[in-house]
A and B are shown apart, each in its own frame.
Chain A
Amino acid sequence: MNRCTDAKRAQIHESLGLDQPFLSQYGDWLKGLFVGREISFGPGFNIDCNAPCLGVSYITKEQVTPYLMSRFPATLSIALAGFMYLALGVAIGAFAARRRGTTVDRSLVASTLVVSSIPFYIFALMAYLYIVLKWGILPDTTYVPLTENPLTWAGHMMLPWAVLAAWNCVTYARFGRGSMIDSLGEDYVRTARAKGLGEASIVVKHALRSAIVPVITIFGIDIATLLAGTIFAEKIFNIQGIGLTALSALTTGDLPVISATVIIAAGFIVVANLVVDLLYSVLDPRVRLV
């Protein structure tokens, strides 16, 4: 079975740059990232990799960066669900917090526990199975670019959004409820009431305004994870995004694609943290960055 000769092995070793010291390999990679480079797959078989170069796929011999870029709109479309479950979850949480201790509150808390105890892939698979395949309530979920047909795009995204929103909002509902209960008990909310403000003003402008700050922290990390590709959602709903790309690269051992998706995910996390920190200074005047 071993058809790989020693000579061939040495040649692959060289073309991958594995004969170079670590620092030099890293230097090559960085150079590719900023100015592009040429990647060799053997004598006379070089592929130009333009900046920002994240490598060339072993399998398809395609440049990884443009390939991932073409997959990104699908992932971005899914990530929009993040804003939906943030809004939905915080609204449910605030609603429950205002009725703390009542039957409504207890049943809401109980149902959030039920939902979050179902694994996401079961939840999503069941939803797909019944809502699309069995009952045909929503159209199939394959990705259609927004630029091609906005209506079909939205229609096809409907189920992924609904499933992600429903499953993830419960976390935000529980967290938002706790945060809202804290802030409803604050002295400044009592002051707002003592001013004679209406209930809506008290709840939204005074209580929710401060309750939202800690929720934003989790949301920042959450949205970064979504942008890095949701493997379950993309696999189940057959959406060709970053997550699915990473998954298939893993099964074929396509190292440049794997490393690129990991780097992109790390980048999103770093950027999300930065954005959250910057956002803090906007949301809370006591936080000043300079």
Chain B
Amino acid sequence: MTVTESASSPSSSAGDEPFLVVEDLSVRFPTADGLVQAVTDLSYEVELGRTLGIVGESGSGKSVSSMSVMSLHDNKRAQTSGSIRVDGDEIIGISENRMRKIRGNRVAMIFQDPLSALHPFYRVGRQIAEAYLTHHSDASKREARAKAIDMLDRVGIPQPDHRVDDFPHQFSGGMRQRAMIAMALVNDPRLLIADEPTTALDVTVQAQILDLLQDLQRDFGSAIVFITHDLGVIAEVADEILVMYAGRGVERGSCKEILTHPEMPYTWGLMSSIPDVTGDTSARLHPIPGTPPSMLAPPTGCSFHPRCTFTDHVPGDLCVTQIPDLRPGGRGLGHLKRCHIEDVDAVYESEVKADLAWEES
């Protein structure tokens, strides 16, 4: 399979800026119950060839923020502010006509549940060919079909020239997700957003899909934003990690750095709640107490404080009254965290490390 350079995806025109830059992104939804503050002041960037993993619980704003990158929110219902630049082009406030040329072309998305994300009435090949034809108006249907077969082959569907005429319900779960990936990659996107692409799959298929994405990234050189709530998956695929909580980025840094020296109590909580298959079966897991806050009325101060068990390390009621900045901790500019605790390392070593089941083994 040859990587054809699509005419509409010129190499970065914005100088040294990373391919995707998200700055101070806020997304709010006015509802009958009030304003839902789904995402607040979120910033991140992704370079070509790199993978950013976004982790967080349900409702932390992971999907909402990435839907904004595709400009898939209904402008009548969502209030978006800040800046999203894809290859130098500002996405927020872009006209629907210009966005249409970017969607599925320079930026593509893989969705969580491939059974509902593929149209049940159209053949798989036709759906892939449609994505190709949308951005290659001079291509014939025959070429688009050949391209669809080629892509199905590329993502490892056996007998692609036969399966191209199958309907989605004739595919297995893993094959559907492969078809979804083929559809997203058919126009050689420079940025791929994968929204929990493996959540609906069993672990064997999950591993295959993750390998596939990494192979494809090597071949296509795309930037990937990988959204998941599974730290195990993140550890495998991500170069950088962004931890989100209640619509905000709470910790950001390189994958290894975050996983080995987490500096934010929420990240500690996420890690302590991972079970260890080789561990002591009588040992108790350490789930994060409580539930994610309502985004209709987020807590004052640090949005994690109602669930945080480390607030006694912070003088006064700082956690309740003041939102901590996302700033570098003691480990340099590459590692940002949003927490008031000053002596994080000491707290981590003495109180947290022992709870990390996988850290001991």
Interface residues of A (CB under 8 A from B): 186-188, 190-199, 206, 209-210, 283-286
| Given known A-B contacts A190-B72, A190-B111, A195-B130, A210 and B118 have beta carbons under 8 A apart | no
Contact of A193 among B72, B135, B183 (CB under 8 A): B72
B113 contacts A194, C-beta separation under 8 Å: no
What is the CA–CA distance of A186 and B134 in the complex, to the nearest angstrom?
21
Contact of B119 among A191, A199, A283 (CB under 8 A): A191
A195 contacts B103, C-beta separation under 8 Å: yes
What sequence of 0s and 1s flags, for each residue 86-103 of chain B, a beta carbon within 8 Å of any chain A beta carbon? 000000000010001111
Contacts of A284 in B (CB 8 A): 120-121
B120 contacts A285, C-beta separation under 8 Å: yes
> In chain B, residues 127-151, which have Cβ atoms closer than 8 Å to a Cβ of chain A?
130-131, 134-135
A197 contacts B119, C-beta separation under 8 Å: no
Interface residues of B (CB under 8 A from A): 70, 72, 96, 100-105, 108-109, 111, 113, 116-121, 130-131, 134-135, 167, 169, 183
B117 contacts A191, C-beta separation under 8 Å: yes
Counting residue pairs across A and B whose Cβ atoms lie within 8 Å, the total is 65
What is the CA–CA distance of A220 and B207 in the complex, to the nearest angstrom?
48
A197 contacts B130, C-beta separation under 8 Å: yes
| Given known A-B contacts A188-B116, A209-B121, A284-B121, A194 and B72 have beta carbons under 8 A apart | yes
What is the CA–CA distance of A67 and B255 in the complex, to the nearest angstrom?
85
B117 contacts A196, C-beta separation under 8 Å: no
A196 contacts B121, C-beta separation under 8 Å: no
A196 contacts B134, C-beta separation under 8 Å: yes
What is the CA–CA distance of A84 and B325 in the complex, to the nearest angstrom?
63
**A-B residue pairs in contact (CB < 8 Å), sample of 8:** A190-B117, A194-B104, A195-B103, A210-B119, A285-B121, A285-B167, A286-B120, A286-B169
Q: 4 additional contacts, CB 8 Å, given A191-B183, A210-B121, A284-B120?
A: A190-B72, A192-B119, A194-B104, A196-B100
| Given known A-B contacts A193-B103, A194-B103, A195-B183, A187 and B131 have beta carbons under 8 A apart | no
Contacts of B108 in A (CB 8 A): 194
Q: In the complex, which of the residues A195, A196, A198, A199 has the most CB atoms of chain B within 10 Å of its own CB atom?
A: A195
A187 contacts B117, C-beta separation under 8 Å: yes
In the assembled complex, the CB of A223 is this many whole angstroms from the nearest CB of chain B, namely 23
Contacts of A187 in B (CB 8 A): 111, 113, 116-117
Contacts of A209 in B (CB 8 A): 119, 121
Contacts of B96 in A (CB 8 A): 199
Contacts of A206 in B (CB 8 A): 119
What is the CA–CA distance of A197 and B116 in the complex, to the nearest angstrom?
18
B102 contacts A196, C-beta separation under 8 Å: yes
B67 to A, closest residue via Cβ: A190
What is the CA–CA distance of A190 and B119 in the complex, to the nearest angstrom?
10
